[in-house]
Chains A and B, each alone.
Chain A
């Protein structure tokens, strides 16, 4: 019985050790190369978020005013 448990546990340990083994340096380099080759250029039109939150809206409004303050000051009277 104990031998069976021991054998099963040893097999589990061995399989975990294989699963947890860090990728080899060449594997890492190959995957980094794959990542580097990706051109992330999908076009998706930015869309407004319809789930309005009054607190967030107030902050965004302040941000917008801060960004356009100079423009407004420069506008012809």
Chain B
């Protein structure tokens, strides 16, 4: 009887310990969640998405030229001269000012609409040279902020359904002081995220699926947009 009682107690302890471990593990995993009004579900590693993986590889290759430019102004192609000033003068700013600087610098670039069937994702250097459309602005801000010292974990490019323009849209999202800032093309960094339905987010380490979270945590007050429903 005593043995059975002891086994029972041990089983309870093991189960409770397991619960504690799961809880602690969950806290660790959620230290950098980007809830966006949904739950972000880790989908897979970034390299599993060929379009993004190719862009990151191309950016790494171009970084040789970018590094040379930052070290020596005479080695800068015209498109990178302004960027060099932003990096050199901006790297000692506060994080909030770095965000403002990156947002304004990139938003002043040329909008260059691509045909729908040829919607390539441009690297920072290609964007600075040729301009781009919304995801190129988001990607450029991501890499400017990475250069200014932001960690991968603090940045994501979010693919959204934009309620205002009723179309798919990309924005950069930054973690700052335990809050989330959205960097869009049409103004200053904003904390207001209700204009967007977040679908996926990406950084150099992973891809997160926000629609999966939505399926599991449906909010009856949300208006499901037709475009987002297709996903």
Q: Interface on A for B, CB 8 Å cutoff?
A: 2, 5-6, 9-10, 12-13, 16, 20, 22-23, 28, 31-32, 34-36, 38-51, 53, 55-56, 58-60, 62-64, 66-67, 69-70
Contact = CB atoms under 8 A, between A and B. Distances in A.
A66 B165 contact: no
Nearest to A58: B89
A40 B135 contact: yes
A13 B97 contact: no
B168 A46 contact: no
Interface residues of B, number: 66
Given A12-B19, A49-B107, A49-B188, A40 B11 contact: no
Contacts of B16: 9
Contact of B11 (A6, A55, A62): A6
10 contacts: A20-B22, A23-B41, A40-B135, A41-B116, A43-B167, A45-B185, A46-B107, A59-B86, A60-B108, A63-B89
Interface string B175-210: 000000000111110000000000110000001010
A42 B81 CA distance: 29
B100 to A, nearest CB: 5
B119 interface: yes
A34 B81 CA distance: 38
B145 to A, nearest CB: 14
A73 to B, nearest CB: 12
A40 B186 contact: no
B150 interface: no
A63 B196 CA distance: 32
Nearest to B202: A35
A39 B169 CA distance: 9
Contacts of B105: 60, 63
Interface string B42-68: 111000111100000000000000000
Given A2-B12, A47-B185, A60 B104 contact: yes
